[in-house]
Amino acid sequence: MKTNGWVEAAEIIYPHVAKLEMPDSAGSGFYIATRTVKKEKRAVIATAAHVIEHAFKWAEPIRLTGHKSSTMLMPGQYEMQSSDGLDLAIIEVPWEAVDFPAQPLPTANPKDVLPTGSPIAWCGFPNIVEGINCLFSGHISACVVSNGDYLIDGVVIHGVSGGPAFLYDGGEITIIGLLTQYLPNRQTGESLPGLGVVRRINPLTEYFDDQAKAGKRKARRK
């Protein structure tokens, strides 16, 4: 059967995405970097801060479900960091905790702004179905110039928050940000179709780029 559209993109992106489950919350996240700390390789997962803020505050256990594996991590087996006011966060976990590919997918240059009408897709694990990574697609409705975020003409179902939004050119995927919230239209008193919000993740990727450069400088001095 011949297929087109986002089929190949789903095959590429899914292995990079994980479901995050805590005692009082659940959401999605995706692999953005690796780190080596005291000779231990770690996977760095980006997500929305509101997904993990309670677990971050109370040091709760977290279950990571990847493409083909599931692991329960207790406090002390992972590290979390969140940003102030940007709804961005990372979780660092042992490399073997999730079956991620060897390399993360590329991210968009923060200086590049997608024009209105650009086709994009996003994915994650909606809470209305159990453990199924779902793909969504739509268009850029507008760019919020003040902070570089995007409004999109598609839903962000509970559980998909923290999942990646991306471009696909028929050969390569480029991550443009993560899903943070859905803005429902309640102008008539009912909940009508609204807008999704994609938050750029360059504050996270720039941090790890700086860490990598610092590591190389340190290695050259030895």
Domain spanning 10-104: which CATH class is it, in words?
mainly beta
pLDDT digits (tens, 9 = 90+) for 27-82: 999 999 998 888 899 999 999 999 998 888 899 999 999 988 899 999 999 999 88
pLDDT digits (tens, 9 = 90+) for 82-118: 876 889 999 999 999 999 999 999 999 888 889 999 9
Q: Which CATH superfamily is domain 105-204 in?
A: Trypsin-like serine proteases (2.40.10.10)
d(CA 57, CA 222) in angstroms, rounded, equals: 38
Name the CA dihedral angle for 16, 203, 23, 155, rounded to a multiple of 10 degrees: -70
Higher pLDDT, 208 or 147: 147
pTM equals 0.88
The DSSP string of 8-37 is HHHHHHGGGEEEEEETTEEEEEEEEEEEEE
Residues of the chain with CATH 2.40.10.10: 10-104, 105-204
Q: Quick check: 192 and 183 in contact, CB under 8 A?
A: no
Amino acid (1-letter code) at residue 67:
H
Instruction: Give Cα 169 distance to the centre of its chain.
Output: 19
For residue 133, what are its two tokens?
A: 């990574």
φ, ψ dihedrals at 188, nearest 5°: -100, 5
d(CA 66, CA 74) in angstroms, rounded, equals: 17
Whole-Å CA distances, 205 to 99, 131, 210, 213: 21, 27, 9, 12
- For residue 18, the cross-strand partners are 29
